[in-house]
Amino acid sequence: MRRVVCPGSFDPVTNGHLDIIGRTSRLYDEVVVAVLINVEKKSLFTVDERIQTLEAVTREYGNVRVEKFYGLLVDFCKQQGIPTIVKGLRAVSDFDYELQMAQLNYRMSGVETLFMSTNPEYSFLSSSRLKEIARYGGDVSGLVPELVRQMLVERLRG
């Protein structure tokens, strides 16, 4: 069975994330979406909320499983028996950072990283920008799943 991990904080999940997850699900037998538990970062949504949301919006794929992890991604990969990480790249600035991480991950564990270019329709999306737009009353329809849009409105605008 060909397995791969798509890691991230997903705070919140965007249509750009779903584009990468969906395209990856067509290439692999199982896609594990790994939600990072980062105690240093102030998140808008709890880890459990992010997991429940991801499970709901990826249900249609059938071969996607959502898990949480803490610590090094390569340790999670070893524990889960996953040899490959897939990362979406929006721009050259993403590549600089992700290439360094990929090289470190490979040196530490032999886990490969594959880069998938983001659909140009979503190349400008980031969770932090979406939260800012929603916080100030902007419309994020079409940028996030409807469930996420509703959650953002409730959390940020009460």
- φ and ψ of 156, to 5 deg: -95, -25
Q: Which residues contact 40 (CB under 8 A, 6 or more apart)?
A: none
- The three-point CA angle 74-32-85 to 5° equals 40
90 is in an annotated binding site: yes
Q: Catalytic annotation on 41?
A: yes
Is 127 known to be catalytic? Answer: yes
CB-based contact 85:5 (threshold 8 Å):
yes
Known binding residue 67? Answer is no
- The answer on whether 141 is annotated among ligand-binding residues is no
Distance in angstroms (rounded) separating the CA atoms of residues 151 and 135: 12
Query: Is 93 marked as binding a ligand?
Result: no
127 annotated binding-site participant: yes
Tally of CB atoms within 10 A around 33: 27
Residue 40 is assigned to a ligand binding site: no
d(Cα 20, Cα 33) in Å, to the nearest integer? Answer: 11
Structure tokens at 29: 């037998």
128 is known to lie in a ligand binding site: yes
Spot the catalytic one: 25, 43, 50, 127: 127
| 76 in a known ligand binding site | no
126 known member of a binding site: yes
Question: Is 41 flagged in the annotation as binding?
Answer: yes
- H/E element, 97: helix 92-109
Catalytic residue among 90, 109, 129, 155: 90
Of the listed 26, 41, 42, 59, which one is catalytic?
41
Annotated catalytic sites, by residue?
Answer: 17, 41, 90, 127
- Binding-site annotation, residues for ATP: 9-10, 17, 88-90, 98, 122-128
- Binding-site annotation, residues: 9-10, 17, 41, 73, 87-90, 98, 122-128
- Binding-site annotation, residues for substrate: 9, 41, 73, 87
